[in-house]
Amino acid sequence: MGYKNEYLEYLVLQAKYGDRGYDLVDHAIEKGEVVEVRNMCAKVHPVLIERLEDVCKMLDVSKRRFIESAVSAAVHEAEQLIGEHFPHLEGWGDEA
């Protein structure tokens, strides 16, 4: 993909996703302000944490923002699959 196409893709993705207020939330948390968030903890392999930190540094994104986006996408996909495989359960796979 040439530079022009990469740049155009960057602009489209930036318009599609924007920052969605993530930076404001990160800033408020850092300043100790009260923000409606909950802690999500899991013990994971140290190599995965190092990779996460490297990716976040390269993309200039907070770990919180990266993890929230990844978990949100995974939960959405799981909900869709549950709805497909268990159609008798109401509320699964419905668009929120």
| Arithmetic mean of pLDDT, 51-78 | 92
CA–CA dist 81, 75 (Å, integer): 10
Q: Which amino acid is at 17?
A: Y
Parse the chain into domains and list their residue ranges. Answer: 1-37, 40-96
Record the tokens describing residue 7, joined without a space: 């740049």
Local confidence band at 95 (pLDDT 50, 70, 90 cut-offs): low
pLDDT of amino acid 2: 79
Answer whether 37's CB lies under 8 Å from 25's CB.
Answer: yes
pLDDT of amino acid 31: 85
Q: Which of 64, 67, 2, 56 is nearest to 27 (CA)?
A: 64
pLDDT of amino acid 61: 86
Q: pLDDT for 6-62, tens place per residue?
A: 888 888 887 777 766 667 777 788 888 888 888 888 999 999 999 999 999 998 888
